[in-house]
Amino acid sequence: MDTVIKREFMPGVTLICVRTDQFKSGYFSVTLLRQLDKNTASKDAIIPRILRRGCRAYPDMKSLSARLDSLYGAGVWPTLRQRGEVLCPGLACSFVEDRFLPARERTMEKTVSLLAQILLDPFTKDGLLNSDYVATEKEVLLNDIRSVVNDKRSYAQRRLREIMFSEECYAAYALGSVETASRLHYRSLTSYYREMLAESEMIFFYCGQMEAGEAALVLREAFASLPRGEMIPMAETEIRVNSGELKLVTEEMAVAQGNLAMGFRLGETMYCPDYAAIGLFNSVFGGSSSSKLFRNVREKLGLCYYVSSSLDSFKGIMIVSSGIAPRNFEAARDEIMEQLEACRRGEIDEREFETARRRMITSFRGVSDSPDALDSFYLTQELRELRCDPAEMIGLAQMAVPEDLVRVAESVLLDTVYFLKPKEGGGTDEADGL
C-alpha cells in the first residue's frame, strides 16, 4: 500500500491516492468542506442527492442506473459526513477493478468520469436545477429528518445535542430541520449549488490499482471544468471547555424502554488535545465491551443491554448512552458518574489500559483493510492541525501512559442529562421483575 498526498492538486483541492492491489473494487470520493450551520445544513445535505438524480448525459434514474449496471454494477452515491462543526457533503463511487472482469473495461476512468459529470454537469432546465427532482428529494429529506424518532437511541442523543448546544452551531442536525428543509426551492438552490462548488475546499480520495500519477491524470481530465472561485476560509469547530449549570431534561414518549443520554465536555484537555489519550480514555471508560461502563452498569449490575460512550474529538465532547428500565434511572446515572470518578482517582489497572491500547492499535491497523475506512481516516486527518498517518497514530498510542488518561478524566465535565422515558401507563415496567 502506497499513499501519496498532493495538496493544491487543483486550487483548494487536496488529492489523496492510495495505490493497492488488495481490493477487487476501486473507490473514489469527492468531499466538500462546509461550515455546519442550522440555516444551510439542509442545502448542503440535499445538493448531492439532487445531483445524483441525473446529469446532462444521463438525465434520469433509468439512464443513470442503466449506465451503472453496464459498468458491472458500479455505484455512485451521495455522501454526508460530519467532523465536529464541519459538514462534509460529497459524492463517492466504487467499481470492480478491470483485472477481475472479462475484458479491459476501464471501469475506473468511466465511473470517475460519471461521478464528475454528476457533480459538475447536472440536468438543468433553463440553467436551473430540475424542479421535480428538487421537489421529490425535499420530501425524502424531510422524511429522513423526521425519521430520527424511529430509532429511540439516536433520538435521545439528538435531543441531548439540541439541549446541550442550544447556543452553538453544533446543535444543528446534519440534515437541517423540518423548518429549513421545507423552505428549499430549486431557484435558490441552483445559485447555492454554484457558489458551493466554486468556493468550497475539497478533498479527492482515490484507492485502487492505479499509480498516483496515472490516477491524477484521469482526475485532471474528469474535473477539468471544476469551477474554482475565491475560497471561503476553511470550515472549523468552536470548542467550549466550560459547561454552565447542569441541565436536566426528562421527556415522555410511548416507548417500552427508557433511553438515557448524558453529555460531557472534555474540558481543558482540549486546549492541547492528545487524541491518543482521549481515545484511550473513552475506550477504558465506555467505548468497548471491556470498558468500565459495560462491565459495571451492564455486567455487574445488569441494569441495561447497552451502555456506551462515544466521542467527538473535534468538538471535544463525549456522550454516554444507555437503554434502561425507568425505575433504574438514578442507579444507572449514579453508576456512570461513579465510574468516571474511578477514572479520576486513577483506578485504571494495567489490564484495562493495555486492552484499550491494543484495541486502538488494532483499529488503526485495520484502517488499511477497507477503502471506506481509509477515506474516513484521511478526512479526519486533513481536518486536524497535526496530521498523522495510521502508523504515526499507532506510535502515539504506544507512547501513552495511564496517567495521560487520568488527566483526561479529570478534565471531563458533565453538562447535560437527558432521559426519554415511557409514558405513564404506557410502559411495561412490571415485566422486568421476572
Subset of residues 374 to 403 that bind another protein, contact rule: CB under 8 A = none
Q: Which is nearer to another protein, 117 or 237 (CB)?
A: 117
Q: Select the residue interacting with another protein from 81, 152, 194, 407 (CB under 8 A).
A: 152
Q: Select the residue interacting with another protein from 7, 11, 24, 349 (CB under 8 A).
A: 24
| Nearest in space to 197 (alpha carbons), one of 10, 385, 69 | 10
Please report whether residue 272 would count as binding another protein according to CB under 8 A. Answer: no
* Alpha-carbon separation of residue 404 from 252, 392, 401 (angstroms): 40, 18, 6
The C-alpha atoms of residue 108 and residue 313 are separated, in whole angstroms, by 34
Q: Which is nearer to another protein, 136 or 191 (CB)?
A: 136
Q: Which is nearer to another protein, 195 or 251 (CB)?
A: 251
Q: How far is the CB of 67 from another protein (least distance, A)?
A: 9
Please report whether residue 150 would count as binding another protein according to CB under 8 A. Answer: yes
> Total residues contacting another protein (rule CB under 8 A)?
72
Please report whether residue 368 would count as binding another protein according to CB under 8 A. Answer: yes
Please report whether residue 62 would count as binding another protein according to CB under 8 A. Answer: yes
Q: How far is the CB of 95 from another protein (least distance, A)?
A: 8
Are 199 and 230 a contacting pair, CB within 8 Å?
yes
Are 303 and 332 a contacting pair, CB within 8 Å?
yes
Are 226 and 30 a contacting pair, CB within 8 Å?
no
DSSP 55: B
The C-alpha atoms of residue 32 and residue 204 are separated, in whole angstroms, by 9
Q: Select the residue interacting with another protein from 16, 45, 255, 409 (CB under 8 A).
A: 255
Residues 312-341 that bind another protein (CB under 8 A): 323-325
The C-alpha atoms of residue 126 and residue 111 are separated, in whole angstroms, by 27
Q: Which is nearer to another protein, 187 or 300 (CB)?
A: 300
Please report whether residue 288 would count as binding another protein according to CB under 8 A. Answer: yes
Strand order in the sheet with 13-19: 2-10, 13-19, 201-208, 25-35, 86-96, 75-83
Q: Select the residue interacting with another protein from 103, 272, 386, 434 (CB under 8 A).
A: 434
The C-alpha atoms of residue 159 and residue 156 are separated, in whole angstroms, by 5
C-alpha cell of 93? 463511487
Please report whether residue 136 would count as binding another protein according to CB under 8 A. Answer: yes
Please report whether residue 96 would count as binding another protein according to CB under 8 A. Answer: yes
* Alpha-carbon separation of residue 89 from 36, 144, 184, 200, 255 (angstroms): 11, 16, 17, 11, 33
Please report whether residue 211 would count as binding another protein according to CB under 8 A. Answer: no
Q: Select the residue interacting with another protein from 39, 65, 188, 250 (CB under 8 A).
A: 65
Start-end of H helices in 272-313? 275-285, 292-293
In sequence order, the 6+-apart residues with CB closer than 8 A to the CB of 122 are: 50, 51, 54, 55, 56, 129, 130, 193
Stretch that binds another protein, among 7-15, 40-48, 180-188, 351-359 (CB under 8 A): 351-359
Please report whether residue 236 would count as binding another protein according to CB under 8 A. Answer: no
Q: Which is nearer to another protein, 25 or 282 (CB)?
A: 25
Q: Select the residue interacting with another protein from 39, 56, 73, 224 (CB under 8 A).
A: 73
The C-alpha atoms of residue 322 and residue 183 are separated, in whole angstroms, by 35
In sequence order, the 6+-apart residues with CB closer than 8 A to the CB of 395 are: none
Q: Which is nearer to another protein, 160 or 394 (CB)?
A: 394
Please report whether residue 299 would count as binding another protein according to CB under 8 A. Answer: yes
Please report whether residue 254 would count as binding another protein according to CB under 8 A. Answer: yes
Q: Which is nearer to another protein, 17 or 260 (CB)?
A: 260
Please report whether residue 66 would count as binding another protein according to CB under 8 A. Answer: yes
Q: Which is nearer to another protein, 84 or 402 (CB)?
A: 402
Please report whether residue 180 would count as binding another protein according to CB under 8 A. Answer: no
Q: Select the residue interacting with another protein from 125, 345, 358, 384 (CB under 8 A).
A: 358
Please report whether residue 140 would count as binding another protein according to CB under 8 A. Answer: yes
Q: How far is the CB of 241 from another protein (least distance, A)?
A: 32
List the Cα angle 279/284/285 in 5-degree steps: 95
Q: How far is the CB of 125 from another protein (least distance, A)?
A: 16
The C-alpha atoms of residue 271 and residue 269 are separated, in whole angstroms, by 5
In sequence order, the 6+-apart residues with CB closer than 8 A to the CB of 212 are: 2, 4, 6, 17, 19
